[in-house]
Amino acid sequence: MRGRDNTRVPRRVVRTYLFADLRDYTAFVETRGDAAAARLLRAYRSIVRAEIRAKRGVEIKTEGDSFYLVFNTPGDAVRCALGIARRAKAHNERHADLPLRIGIGINTGEAIEHDKAYVGSAVILASRLAQQAEAGRSLVTDTVRSLVRTGGLAPMRDLGAWKLKGVAESVHVYEIETTKSSAARSVGPSLRLPAMLLPPPLRGATGLVVCPELVQRELQLAALLEHVGAAATGESRIVAVAGEAGVGKTRLVRELARVAQEDGFYVFGGRSHASAALPYEPFIAALRPYAESRGTEILRRLLGTLTGELRRLLPEIDLAPANEDVTIPDDERRERFLRAIHLLLEDAASLRPVVLVLEDMHEADAASRDLLSYLATTLHGGICVVFTYREEDVGPTHPLRALIAGFDRERRLSHVALPPLDAAGVERMIKALVPERATGELAQAVLERSEGVPYYVEELLKTAVDEADAGADRLPLPRTVRDSVQMRLARLMGERGRPIADLLEAAAIAAIPLGYDVLLDLSGRGDRDTGEDLAAAVEAQLLERPPTQQEIYQFRHTLTRDAVASAIPESRQTLLHVRVAEALEKLRDDRQSATIARHFAAGGDGARAVRYARDGARAAIRVGAYAAAIDLLRLAATQGAGIAEEVDVLFELGAALRSAGRADEAEDVLLRARDLTRDEQRRARIDLELAAVLRMEGQRVEAVASVRRAIDALQAHQGPILAEALVHHADLAWAENDLRETARLAEDALGAAKRYQAPSVEVQALTLLGAASVRLGQDEGLEHLAEATRRGGALALGAEAVDAHMELARALLFRGRNEDALDAVKAGLALARARGLEFAQARLLAHATTICVNLGRYEEARRFAEQSVALARAGTIAASAARVSLAHVMSDQGEGEAALALFDSVREDSERNEPDRRVIYWSYRAQALLGLDRLDDAWESATRAVDLTAATPGMGMTAFLNAAEIAEARRDGSGIEALSRRFEDYFAGRDTPPVRLVRLEIAAIRELCAGRDAAMQFSEVADTYATLGARVRASYRRATAAIARMNDSRARASARRELATQMRDLESFGALRYVAALNRQLRRRTAARSVSGPLTRRQQRVAVLISRGWTDRRIARAIGVSDRAVGGLVRSVLTGLGVATRSQVAAWVADHPGLPRTAPALAP
């Protein structure tokens, strides 16, 4: 770039600068002589330059014992310093006579490029730090520390503010603690590396097997190690390693696993196989060794009621038989298994940091993808999840692509891409593998044929080694690996005969690792011949045998398997699929049902495919893997078209789709099943399932029609199913807030349940009858709910008893009994946890959040809300309720923008919810907008909530209360008058304590908006809140009353003291939204004052420093006064502004942009 006079304009860039000095070098030369000094200098420079290459640095200048280096990122510079320290320590242990004593200084900042170097104050600062660094110390500025603090590189010790030579301002300095190991805690059972992550042998009978070096992957390995380092410091990371087949993903993660295990990490690993269709396959394989090592007693204590789920996942572990609980709804099963696996991982991380490697996630089953998504939102720290996938196999419609996109939107995922090798990389591989034959010509030929894919390079060179006369001009392999594999297969056939090809073709069609017994069956030969065939295939690098206890064989690479399978004629493939299915069938292993079903389907045996697909689906549902079950049931539906079981298959598919939250697909399938059957009872069962689906979709009118059809059909078939239909109908009326219809239908269901002896339906009916009665103002409602909870407990029911506790809590909250409501929620939670009902837990936790907010227990509310979000399944009512509850807490805690974003993310789901949930959504959203001072938007949202309430009988007061608060902030007299009239119309004839309270608060706000003194009214409101246990609202209204009293000069002093007390209480609660609201009220009082009016110039300066959060001591140093004097200055600012707290000063500063903003030069 050039200026007007054609001179080059200096280019400013941001870089990180590292200076390294060799301490005591001059003394060493004088005492040991020039020769020893030369050896010391060579060792020093060799170590530093090795780290420069590894960490992507640039050597700018080297003079004697000093290095000047530049890096693009501070992370690379810190890693370089750590590497230098590590290498220097190893050198000193080996060469005590040549001690390396190195001091390092690092800074990041802007500099000017000049003559292939960089000049500027940032460079000088790094040099000055290096001069101050004693031997073995690495010093960094606070800038560097702030940029790498979340990288997990190394702990840093705060050394405080330093004065450096030639630097005007003090500099905050940190020391990289290179002597402190970041290795994991060596506690817990010791485990070997998983077999899939063990490095393969480097040499075999034919010589070459795999490259001994990790070529051109230094940068990717460094990036992965940085994420692993973050796990060692308590963070959780998820990293995707992507690249084409054969590019070296497995080789890279094996090296990562080796390093992590050497550092004391737990390293778990598992691989997915598309044809296996085993739910959670890679996770089960990864966690099996750890679960076995923990022992049954620890597992029972750790998992509690989830022990049965672990037994289903790992039946080989000797745990007590799982108690099958028929009361657990299908919706809950998935959450139970996700939670069990989550608990195992968290347990491991409590002992040591964990690296979990999941290979080939592009082939993973849907349950494994769901589990990965679940872990991304629930893992707390100490775990680094690394998964690999083939980029070319994950197209726009692949489910893994959607999962990755979701992670990216939430900033949860880091990416590591593996490109093919370039010419230099291929040449390095050849030199490492066949150094005696490495030539430029051979490297170029291999590059052209392999296109830089390491696996292709190895395969090409493998045959080159086997063929002694092979050269660059005549490699005996065609361009593709398939030809390479087929050539080796042909040689094996020549040596062993056709049966070895038959065996390998069958194994390729199976497409999963196979045990020796299955391979023996597929071979059709004797034990000795089969063993020799397998040994020959392993020696030819077609198969490999992982070092596992059971004798298992698999293809060395997916490409090898594909190469074998591609040469099999289609007609023969059909026969081989049936052979493989029948061989697996003989194992009598239920876990193989899904695989067997797919092979029978591919082999054209529809009847057996349907049978095994349904068995596999039932097994998947037992572990909550609904997506895997759906895939299998779709296969069964395709294979079973026109057979007698078709309706049953479709019904099972529809139920699985509903449980998975895929309501629109479930509706289509169930309607198809309904059209195919003429049996009335089967139609009725389908209609009840269809009603549940329609309710999920928000089509409650259609759901009611479906239930009524079922009831009509069942009138002639009296029995428990009729009672079940009636209670379904009552539940739909409750969802519509049709209170009288709910009560009528619940009484009918209760009568039918007693008549047909259906105790679980009886509890459900009592719950609905009690909930509706409370909303109708009938005292017996609480008695019905209490009876439902008692009966549910006595009958040891699960979901029905939990629902009874949930509705009891809602009823108590409706009556203003917050503490009693929280007790009911906690009782329900205990029952839900004992039963493993995680969906119910999510709903209860969301409700507990609201109660705790009312009680001013914000930390507990936040914890409940976050647990609810973690447990709730996407697409369910609980999921949107959980997120709304979390957003509500965040809004009250002052995180308005984040809360609003969360509200907007669930808007569409909330619109499909029941009326009361929609009211809650719009009311809480209005609160968030109020906290952001977007008063018009808040009023619009609050008005919508009031309109919904007015249109629905039996609702609560939340919408009116929030709307009144917004009218207060707007000083909207007409708005509060209209709201008061609507409130009186809606609650006419109702005189409960909460109704009286809201009526009183609206009256106080009317007085305020009319410009009259409302201090007495707000004091009365505050006292009433206190009697109901609503501490936050009580403090807020006491503060409002205090502000009103400040208009009276005689009461101003006491009002300020009261205001300060209440503001401190609100801040201690964490109710920052209310603090902000009070600050807005105070700004109204000070808005008319000019900048120069209330404060002197010096006081303005102090106010600005207070607004930045500075302490009194720091302010004193900044303005040059004593610690004692600064206290008087701060008090004078508070008095001058007529405020009571420092947060109010900050609000005043924010409203006066004309204040002097220049801060004095001062080190922190």
DSSP string, 310-369: HHHH-TTS--PPP---TTS-HHHHHHHHHHHHHHHHHHHHHHS-EEEEEE-GGG--HHHH
Q: How many Å apart are CA 257 and CA 657, to the nearest integer?
A: 38
Rounded Cα gap, residues 758 and 724, in angstroms: 8
Rounded to an integer, what distance in angstroms lies between the CA atom of residue 285 and that of residue 303? Answer: 19
Q: Residues 823-878: pLDDT tens digits?
A: 998 998 888 777 656 667 878 888 888 888 878 787 888 888 888 887 776 656 66
Helix (H) or strand (E) holding 66: strand 66-71
Task: Judge residue 710's burial from the number of C-beta atoms within 10 Å of its C-beta, 0-12 exposed, 13-18 middle, 19 or more buried.
Answer: buried
Which residues lie below 8 Å from residue 328, measured CB to CB, with a gap of 6+? 336, 798, 799, 835, 836, 837
User: Rounded CA gap, 206 and 1082, in Å?
Assistant: 85
pTM listed for this prediction: 0.55
Band (4; pLDDT cuts 50, 70, 90): very low
Instruction: Give Cα separations from 39 to 95, 247, 619 (angstroms).
Output: 11, 41, 69
Where is average pLDDT lowest: 66-75, 623-632, 821-830?
A: 623-632
Mean pLDDT of 391-400: 85
What CA–CA distance (Å, rounded) separates 958 from 979? Answer: 13
In terms of average pLDDT, the best of 61-75, 141-155, 199-213 is 61-75
Closest CA to 245 of 430, 393, 457: 393
What average pLDDT does this structure show over 757-779? 87
Instruction: Say yes or no to pLDDT of 177 above 70.
Output: yes
C-alpha span between 261 and 384 (Å, rounded):
13
What integer pLDDT is reported at residue 471 of this predicted model? 52
Strands 117-119 vs 156-162: parallel, antiparallel or unpaired = unpaired
Confidence of residue 1092 (pLDDT cuts 50, 70, 90): very low
Beta strands at 543-544 and 203-204: parallel, antiparallel or unpaired: unpaired
Residue 1053 CB contacts under 8 Å (≥ 6 apart), including other chains: none
CB contact at 8 A, 892 and 1071 = yes
Q: How much is the average pLDDT of 24-48?
A: 84
Instruction: Count the Cβ atoms, other than its own, within 10 Å of residue 1008.
Output: 23
Tell me the average pLDDT of the chain: 82
Q: Which domains does the chain have, with CATH numbers?
A: 12-176 (3.30.70.1230), 195-419 (3.40.50.300), 446-471 (no CATH), 484-568 (1.10.10.10), 718-836 (1.25.40.10), 1024-1082 (no CATH), 1092-1150 (1.10.10.10)
Cα 1059 to Cα 825, 1062, 1078: the distances in Å are 34, 5, 9
Q: Is the pLDDT of residue 908 over 70?
A: yes
- Does the pLDDT of residue 745 top 60, yes or no? yes
* Alpha carbon distance 752, 747 (integer Å): 9
Lowest mean pLDDT among 250-254, 267-271, 1002-1006, 1029-1033: 1029-1033
